[in-house]
Each structure stands twice: as structure tokens, then as C-alpha cells.
Amino acid sequence: MSSELERRLEGLLAEAPEPDQGAGEEALHRALRALQPAARSHRGLRTAVLAFAAAAVLLAIAAGSLAAAGALHVSFGAKPKPRPVSRPLSLPRGAHGVAALVDGRLSVVTKDGSRLQGLPATAVTLSPHSLFVAAGIGRSLVAMAPDGRRIWSHRAHGQVVAIAWAPDAIRIAYVVRAGHRYALHVIWGIGTHDRTIDRSVRAVRPSWRADSLALAYVGGGGKAVAYDLEHDKHDVLGGAAPITSVAYAPRGKTLLAATPGSVLLGRKTVATGEIEAIGWLHGRPAAALEQGVRPPLVRTFGATGRPARSFRAPGPIVGLTGGLIATRNLIGVRPTASVEDLAIG
């Protein structure tokens, strides 16, 4: 990504609202008025009460300011303590960052040395160049710096289960559980202008087209849907079998899709078998086919859909993403861990 795009993304996120200064001051004044001592005796008790109240006021100031900015959704009750994964992720050579959900906990590492580990989450993605992280936390979509500093938070009114940041960094697509269904939303990269695209979809990560003007997702009926944002147009793809994943080419408008037993390049079936993952390697469509206890067979295809190359994966695959074959060894995940979501930028 060019430096111009980096500056644009940083500028957009800089426009996120700042906390309301008045919220903290008002909380402090009210707390101090409520703490006026009834008598000058019991000085020891008054000192203890004041110390406790001061801590509460500091918490109220921080929470009040963030809530006023829409950056924090406060809920009271027991809060689970972050439980770190067994070890930090490894950053693959050539990648700007890697983010994964390992056993339900978020783990992020970036090229500049930033790390985030142990935060409970339900979905994750990286912005272009891995400058920011978007994650489903509680019932919100949250954008953070890779070190965990919160940039903005949007109440999703449900659990966010899949997220995809557009290549131009202007928009984010995300899927949220809405009752017994899932809905697809698109929101600006600064956490505003949220809108619903489809109220009945599958819990599958959307894929943005290279020009960021269209995205593909899996509709409620199991078909792949290509949605054109400019013309508000839906194009339904796929056959009888339900689509399980979609991946637009890093350049151009070619869509790769998979069912449990086949791979589709556009509208053409190019491979059959037990599909473990799909993606793009060095500009070519690729699929990992499970074959018993042996490492998966990775197959790439040419522009016409004919097989171009086949080779064994260097270990158990957790995804074909970021132009890499992401294996457990590559990102440093222990063999028994469950990798529920993965993004490499």
C-alpha cells in the first residue's frame, strides 16, 4: 500500500470523535458534592470513604468520557480477565501483521513490534498495511491500534462473527448475529455511516473486490452474492451446494468460491474434493484439498481454470490468506489450539 493510502487511513481515523471533556468534570463535581462529611469526627472513616470515592470518580471520569464519545459501551457485572494464549504469534516473513483468534482470544503482532494478546473476541481483521485492527468484542465492532489502544467502537446490537476491511481502507464490511439470523453491514473506516446491506446472510467473512467498489458474501440461501456498492446491485452466483467461503482476486474482478466439495472460479468448477481453504497465491487462485492424515494438497489454477501446480502444504493449514499458505508452524500456534479466525496483512 502506498504512503498516500497510509496517510489517508490515518487521517480518517483521526476524525473519530474525541471524549467529551465536560463529562469527566461533571462526574467529579457531583461526586465531590456527595462526599461532604456530615461531621468533623470520624476522620478515619471519612479518609477511607474519600479514598474509595476517589478511585470510583477516576473510573467514572474515564468511562463517562469514552461513553460520551461513543468509544466505549459500558456494562456492569463480572468481567472475565484476559487469558493470554500459550505464546505470541509469529510474524510471517514479508507480512506487515498477523491477527488471529486462538481459543477465543485475540492475538496480534505487527512489523513495528506492536503486540496484543489475550483479549476475548469473536472476529478479527486487519486494515491495509496492518495499521489498525477491527474486532468483534462483546456486542460491538471495535477499531484498535495493534497495541490495543481503542480508536472507536460501534454498537452492533449483536455478536460480530466476521469482518473484512476494504483495500482502500474507506469501508469495513461485517456480519452480525441478529436474533436467529445473520445480517451484513458496511460501515465507514472511522466508525460512522453504518448501513445494512442484507438482513439474511451466512456467517462467512465477506471479500472485497480489489477496487473496493464491490464485495462478495454468502447469502442466507447459501449462494455467493456479489454486491456492487456504486449501483446497489446484487448478482447471485453458485449452484445447489452451499458456498462456504469467497475470495476476490488481489487484482481484477475474478471471484473464487468454495463449497464443502468443490472450488468455483467465477461460474466454473475447477476442482473437487474435501476443500480445506481457498485463497490467492502469487496472483493465482489456490485451494487446499484435505487428503486424510497427510498434509493438504495445495493446487493453483491458471486463468482458464486448468490446474497450474500442485504441491503438499508444509504442515496443517489454518488458511490461505495474505498471499501466504498459513500453517500452524508459520504463525506459531500450538497443535491443540483452535484457530477460529485469521488475517495476515
215 phi and psi angles, rounded to 5 deg: -140, 155
Inform me whether the pLDDT recorded for 178 exceeds 90.
Answer: no
Fold of 97-344: Methylamine Dehydrogenase; Chain H (2.130.10)
Contact 216, 206 (CB under 8 A): yes
What's the pLDDT at 5?
56
Per-residue exposure over 263-273, b if at least 16 CB sit within 10 Å of its own CB, e if not: bbbeeeebbeb
Categorize the per-residue pLDDT at 133 as very low, low, confident or very high, splitting at 50, 70 and 90.
very high
Instruction: Over range 65-86, report the average pLDDT.
Output: 42
Residues 6 or more apart whose CB falls under 8 angstroms from that of 231 comprise none
Instruction: Over range 62-76, report the average pLDDT.
Output: 39
Strand partners, 156: none
Reading the block at residue 6, the C-alpha cell is 497510509
Cα separation of 114 and 146, whole Å? 6
Instruction: Over range 249-272, report the average pLDDT.
Output: 94
What is the model's pTM?
0.77
**Average per-residue pLDDT in the chain?**
81
pLDDT digits 0-9 by tens, 264-303: 998 899 999 999 999 999 999 999 998 777 889 999 999 8
Residues 6 or more apart whose CB falls under 8 angstroms from that of 221 comprise none
Inform me whether the pLDDT recorded for 216 exceeds 90.
Answer: yes
Inform me whether the pLDDT recorded for 63 exceeds 60.
Answer: no
> Around Cβ 242, how many Cβ atoms within 10 Å?
16
Cα separation of 149 and 138, whole Å? 17
Inform me whether the pLDDT recorded for 8 exceeds 80.
Answer: no
| H or E segment and range at residue 152 | strand 150-155
| Residue indicated by cell numbers 502444504 | 313
Reading the block at residue 172, the C-alpha cell is 469495513
Closest CA to 218 of 167, 157, 260, 268: 260
> Around Cβ 160, how many Cβ atoms within 10 Å?
25
Closest CA to 264 of 224, 217, 308: 224
Reading the block at residue 168, the C-alpha cell is 482502500
Helix, strand, or coil here: 32?
helix
Inform me whether the pLDDT recorded for 4 exceeds 70.
Answer: no
Strand partners, 135: 124, 142
What's the pLDDT at 11?
63
Inform me whether the pLDDT recorded for 212 exceeds 90.
Answer: yes
Categorize the per-residue pLDDT at 233 as very low, low, confident or very high, splitting at 50, 70 and 90.
confident
Cα separation of 196 and 113, whole Å? 36
Inform me whether the pLDDT recorded for 1 exceeds 80.
Answer: no
What's the pLDDT at 2?
52
Categorize the per-residue pLDDT at 47 as very low, low, confident or very high, splitting at 50, 70 and 90.
very low
What's the pLDDT at 32?
36
> Around Cβ 282, how many Cβ atoms within 10 Å?
9
| Residue indicated by cell numbers 480489489 | 210
Structural domain boundaries of the chain?
18-68, 97-344
51 phi and psi angles, rounded to 5 deg: -65, -45
56 phi and psi angles, rounded to 5 deg: -65, -40
Instruction: Over range 300-326, report the average pLDDT.
Output: 91
